[in-house]
Amino acid sequence: LPLRDEASFFGRQQVVSRYIDAIKRGENRGVFGIRKAGKTSLLFKIDRIVREQKLGFVLFYDCKSPSYRSLHWNELLGEICNNIAKRLHIYIKKEYDIKNIIKSFRYVVHEAAKRNLKVVIMFDEIEYISFKSRMNTHWHSEFVDFWQTIWSVQSIHRNLVFILAGVNPTVTEIDTIDGIQNPLFSIVQSEYLQGLSEEDSRVMIRTLGRRMGIKFEHDAISVL
């Protein structure tokens, strides 16, 4: 399972620093890689630092969850609006029709900007709510509307930042979708998450080994 505490998180310091700097500058990021590479653990680490440094607040969405991927784009945006409103302790009407939800989204992001708070939205397993979705095909046509709305608000309020995570960065790299410009194209800087470095692996293995009363020789660490 993804790591939610500092005691089990090792390495990735340079990667984490890049993402925190991007959040401070209001820049979007994407982290992609094979399953179990540690992408979600990295997102949770970033969340902890955002809270520690009081930069703002993070909203995390696991897009493979049926409770999110089954929603239409305006309904998902409504969920996001409600969660931002709760964090800000403000009231908004739960009206999810397209016209009202766009107004509500602009309003809550604007309110956060007035308080000098970053709104960091993390979308894990982004493929499930994209034009690549195999389970909920309504996202093939609604992907553009969803991201055009977020992009338009972000162009006005730079306190809104999003981070995407998934297996394949195609959702950010393809320039057009059925002849329509991909809203994510060129506005997300992505990177591929690699395995731990040898030094980070050595620190992790020796630290965990000490907790279990086990010592690892250098050759064993290299193999692991």
φ/ψ (deg, to 5) at 124: -90, 145
Residue 223 pLDDT grade (very low, low, confident, very high; cuts 50, 70, 90): confident
pLDDT, tens digit, for every residue of 162-216?
999 999 899 999 999 988 999 999 899 999 998 888 889 999 999 999 999 999 9
**What pLDDT score does 113 carry?**
95
* Cβ partners under 8 Å of residue 134, min gap 6: none
* Cβ partners under 8 Å of residue 145, min gap 6: 73, 74, 98
Q: Do 156 and 95 contact (CB within 8 A), yes or no?
A: no
The three-point CA angle 207-210-212 to 5° equals 115
pTM for this structure? 0.91
pLDDT, tens digit, for every residue of 45-103?
999 999 999 999 999 999 999 999 999 999 999 999 999 999 999 999 888 888 899 99
Phi-psi region at 167: left, alpha or beta (left = phi > 0; alpha = psi -120 to 50) = alpha
The CB-side HSE value for 25 (13 A sphere, CA atoms) comes to 10
**What pLDDT score does 197 carry?**
86
Lay out the sheet containing 188-192: strands in order across.
Answer: 56-62, 118-124, 160-166, 28-32, 188-192
